[in-house]
Structure 1
């Protein structure tokens, strides 16, 4: 497996070729304006996978979405490089320099007693940097995007203000402020004044976001999880009504409420994961009697599968799919016939057909059974493999 630096350089070179003469027509047409929606979309897809991991889901999809987001950054840096504005190296250097300068308690002589002092020091260092660049310290609230979701923005603004001491001394004060704002909202609702209602509702939401920050339960995340629960429960209602044959839109509120409560009960019956899955299968290591023959076979097969062949010691032959690594080692017999079948997931039926054609042409003796979306083959070590789509 390559180093982060080497893989990033490879990605930068891929991006350069996509944009170069004779590269990809779509990539060559893009500019900063056209790429904006893709950047936002990829960021939200990363957030979706983070939520799934938090609920006990696998990590590999998050890795893939982070890669998609990184590609957007590399794409923007390439556009800037073509105009001689800055390069990906400049982007990496700028953030590295910034992180080092804002962590003097790690990379310098300063000490920091706890996270709160780290944040306070960060605010001071940021203000000093801005003063050197612009002549003014600016506002401690600078840097929160105006286009960010409102709840997220409210929380970040109060968090930034707290770095210079503008904060409630304890949770009781924050909770009391929320009660005060709810009382004022009730008065506005009673008055029927639409402007007053909007004003006071905004204050309530802002107070809730501040409370969320104080209790370390981000409001944007909490609301997103509530939306997910609502969606799951409501879809349960829809499915139950369809199963009962209730015509669309004709169920009573009481009928739907019964199914809603059933969905909540089912939800509570499934305990949340106590641990997250942090040990997925990453490497399969197999000993084979003839490593040279095995290497020759898999060196030719790997590109057909879309796998990489990383550099390995002489007594290893290694191949990677992105989520799985195969290591073949010299020195022992392979498993007896039929004792072990290794199954690889194919991305499409076309991929299965392509592999079948390759095997028929280059390794006809290796190909076994073949049907739409599935085939089997054996390698020189006698190991049995199945290559199939999920629907197989």
Structure 2
């Protein structure tokens, strides 16, 4: 079993334990209705971290939030399993089957060129699937949640309609439609008819959402970033006014506008976010003079670090934590440079547990130990630190 499969099995097991008679009272009380707000909250927290990464932030918090969202999926699958409806395995199989069947150009013999053909074929396959299940093809617009944010829904509806040819020929036509809708809104504003104003303002927003789709700039994301900038700039105004001793609510519009422009200038002075994709470190490979000794050592140590032995080639020993792999192969000479490879420990207790195990089985491996850190060498002479 792969590391991914093993960790998913572990998560499903934890969920089963939480819902068992000996589990957590809170988890046992939950049902589909009570979990709805948590699912939405976790999805938005993932979105927050995606925004931070887009502006040059770290990736690790996104990993944690994706885990929280995955837990919600496992929780819902467990509730279904308890009622005999379906299991987490069926959830995985369902999406795997769907992706395979809707990508015949990848998993079959069909030939498609370009993403437009892929999307058009996706819509056709989806309609065929629905007809087999229900006897009718349904609408190409099916599947866009009615509870989704309106700008997101508008973009997705126009995108789905475009898959069967209901599409503007070019960007200029979309821009002209927006100009037309703005003119009709002006007429409604002049009339003073509230219903007409709402109607035409909605058409303007729909045209803007469609323009965002043509610009490959999702309007929901663009507006979210704009409100984020507004918040930052306005809080700059508030801080500046407090520093100047201006009483709350007594600043003039002109005064606040000066600070607003200063905040915009400060934004422009910042360097642009790094846009190059990060090259993740996926494996470390070492040649060692005595592979059996190295394998015996790491077979004992890896579980204490939360790592697992992985199945690899016969002439290598491989260990992984789901993200990084250590691979040892025959060759090289004993000993290493003065550099040490550092591994993060979840707690001081984990450090102490490793120290006790090494003292019992490999006392000569320990190079130094402190309450929060242990230094050791493996049989190949590689130096390691395990620190909380």
For the aligned pair, the TM-score class normalised by the smaller chain equals 0.7 to 0.9
What does residue 271 of structure 1 align with? 272
Task: Indicate how the Cα distance of structure 1 residues 127 and 369 shifts in structure 2: closer, same or farther if over 3 A, else same.
Answer: closer
What does 1:75-86 correspond to in 2, within 5 Å?
A: 75-86=75-86
CA distance in 2, matches of 1:357, 1:120: 57
1:344 aligned partner: 343
Does structure 1 residue 356 correspond to structure 2 residue 355? Answer: no
The correspondence of residues 245-264 of structure 1 with structure 2, limited to 5 A, is 246=245, 249=248, 252-264=255-267
Say whether residues 1:69 and 2:69 are aligned partners. Answer: yes
* Residues 18 and 28 in structure 1, CA contact (< 8 A), matched pair in contact too: yes
Q: Give the direction of change, closer, same or farther, for the CA distance of 1:78–1:259 in structure 2 (3 Å limit).
A: same
For 2:370 and 2:245, how far apart are their aligned partners in 1?
Answer: 45
Question: Deviation digits for residues 270-308 of structure 1, max 9, x if unmatched?
Answer: 13434211x222323344556566555544444443333
Contact 2:233 2:260 in 1 (8 A): no
Equivalent residues of 1:42, 1:65 under 8 A apart: yes
Summarize the alignment of residues 1-392 of structure 1 with structure 2, pairs less than 5 Å apart: 2=2, 8-57=8-57, 61-107=61-107, 111-234=111-234, 246=245, 249=248, 252-267=255-270, 270-277=271-278, 279-288=279-288, 295=295, 298-312=298-312, 316-329=316-329, 331=331, 332-336=333-337, 339-347=338-346, 351-356=347-352, 358-359=354-355, 363=359, 366=366, 368=368, 370=370, 374-381=372-379, 383-389=382-388
TM-score where L is the length of structure 2: 0.80
CA distance in 2, matches of 1:232, 1:30: 38
C-alpha change, 1:304 and 1:124, in structure 2 (3 Å) is closer
CA distance in 2, matches of 1:283, 1:299: 18
Q: Provide the C-alpha distance between the structure 2 equivalents of 1:88 and 1:31, rounded to a whole number of angstroms.
A: 16
258 and 112 in structure 1: CA distance in 2 versus 1, 3 angstrom threshold: closer
Per the alignment, do residues 180 and 88 of structure 1 end up closer, same or farther by CA in structure 2, a change over 3 Å counting? same
Moved more, 38-47 or 150-159: 38-47
- 1:61 Cα deviation from its structure 2 partner: 4.8
Alpha-carbon deviations, 1:89-113, whole Å to 9, x = none?
A: 3333333333344344555565545
Distance 1:258 1:226 in 2: 15
Instruction: Give the conservation status (yes or no) of the 8 Å contact 1:297–1:379.
Output: no
CA RMSD of aligned residues (A): 3.6
The 1:248–1:89 alpha-carbon spacing in structure 2 relative to 1, beyond 3 Å, is farther
Contact preservation (8 Å) 1:305, 1:355: no
Q: Which runs of 5+ in 2 are unaligned?
A: none
Deviation at 1:328, TM superposition (A): 4.3
Q: Distance in 2 between matches of 1:258 and 1:227?
A: 16
- Return the alpha-carbon distance in structure 1 between the equivalents of residues 305 and 226 of structure 2: 41
Question: Structure 2: how far apart are the matches of 1:238 and 1:344?
Answer: 44
Pair 1:239–1:167, CA change in 2 (3 A) = same
Q: What is the SS of the residue equivalent to 2:308?
A: coil
Q: Scaled by the length of structure 1, what TM-score is found?
A: 0.79
Structure 1: unaligned runs, 5 residues or longer: none
* 1:309 match: secondary structure: strand
- Counting matched residue pairs gives 378
Q: Helix, strand or coil for the counterpart of 1:344?
A: strand
Change beyond 3 A, Cα 1:79–1:65: same
Q: For residues 379 and 23 of structure 1, do their structure 2 counterparts lie closer, same or farther at Cα, with a shift above 3 Å needed?
A: farther
Instruction: Spell out, residue by residue over 1:168-196, the C-alpha distance to the aligned partner (whole angstroms, 9 max, x if none).
Output: 23222221121122223334444554444
